[in-house]
Structure 1
Amino acid sequence: MTAAYTLYAKPGFAATTIERLCSEARISNRAFYECFGGREELLQALHERCVEESLAVVAKALQEAPNTLDGRVKAGIRAYIEFATADWRRARIMHLEVRRSGDVLTVSRQRAIDSFARLVEEASADFPPAGQPNLRLVALGVIGALQELLIEWILADEPPEIEEVIRVGVHIFERSLGAS
């Protein structure tokens, strides 16, 4: 898992062979196949671990946040972005390689998006603004926007400062969810 964490982040999933994984991990191909059915299964396990850890961090931040929509948005966005960017490998796997892997992570990615959408819905359910469109669709939209902000941070020649990414993420969420 440790070798995949680094290699799947860079040079990336497509460029990482079983042989390279096993060499980096100092295990035999046979030992690899005793644990995983293939590179795809390993990527899925790695992605799911990153998602589970992220969900736990955000859920904790939301629990500890002030009981206002604004407080929850700021706490949740900050927690997610700081956690995702604290290790460049995590950010790349969760936001770049998940898309580059093709159909390998389609189900895992959709499960992750659904879990984060539920967090957004639950965190904002106590504060329904008048005339708000379908909260589920708004949650999906703001999650997509946050993913694009993180992809920009990953790929930009001069990445924006983390505080700026957080500020913009909060702005998008607040405007979309009707926070003050």
Structure 2
Amino acid sequence: MTAAYTLYAKPGFTATTIERLCSEARISNRAFYECFGGREELLQALHERCVEESLAVVAKALQEAPNTLDDRVKAGIRAYIEFTTADWRRARIMHVEVRRSGDVLTLSRQRAVDAFARLIEDASADFPQAAPLNRRLVALGVIGALQELLIEWLLSDDQPEIDQLVDVAVHIFIRSLGAG
């Protein structure tokens, strides 16, 4: 998994063969197939691990934040962005390779988006909205915005600072949730 974590991030999932994975991990092809049914299954395991770790970090930040919508939004976003960007490989797998892998991670990606949407819905449920919007759709919209900000951080020649990402994401979330 360690070899895949690096290789799937760069050069990327589609460019990484089983032979290259096994060579990097110093294992035989047979040993690989004793653990995984293929490189797609390995990518799914990596993606799901990244998502689970991220969800745990964000849930903890939300639980520890003061009980205001602004504070919860700021804490959750900062925790997610800092955790995700602390290791570029994690950010790349979660936000670039998940899309480039085609249908391989469609279900895993949908489960991740659903889990984060529920987290946002739950964290904002105690606070009134300025407009009567569908809270789930708002959560999905702000997740999409955050994903695009992180893709920009990963792929841009002029990489934005982490604090800029946090500030913009907080602004989008708070306005979208009808606060601030």
Q: TM-score range by the shorter chain?
A: over 0.9
Counterpart residue number, 1:116:
116
What is the CA–CA distance in structure 2 between the aligned matches of 1:6 and 1:33, rounded to whole Å? 19
Cα distance, 1:110 vs structure 2: 0.0
What is the CA–CA distance in structure 1 between the aligned matches of 2:128 and 2:104, rounded to whole Å? 37
Pairing 1:154-169 to 2, within 5 Å after superposition: 154-169=154-169
Counterpart residue number, 1:74:
74
Unaligned runs of 5+ in 1: none
What is the CA–CA distance in structure 2 between the aligned matches of 1:132 and 1:59, rounded to whole Å? 26
Aligned identity (percent) is 86
Matched, 1:144 2:140: no
What is the CA–CA distance in structure 1 between the aligned matches of 2:103 and 2:134, rounded to whole Å? 28
What is the CA–CA distance in structure 1 between the aligned matches of 2:179 and 2:125, rounded to whole Å? 12
What is the CA–CA distance in structure 1 between the aligned matches of 2:13 and 2:30, rounded to whole Å? 20
One-letter code of the match for 2:39?
R
Deviation sequence 1:121-176 (CA, Å, 0-9, x none) = 00000002143310000000000000000000000001100000000000000000
Cα distance, 1:23 vs structure 2: 0.3
| TM-score, normalising length: structure 1 | 0.99
Deviation sequence 1:37-66 (CA, Å, 0-9, x none) = 000000000000000000000000000001
What value does the CA root-mean-square deviation take over the aligned residues? 0.5
| TM-score, normalising length: structure 2 | 0.99
Pairing 1:1-180 to 2, within 5 Å after superposition: 1-180=1-180
How many aligned residue pairs are there? 180
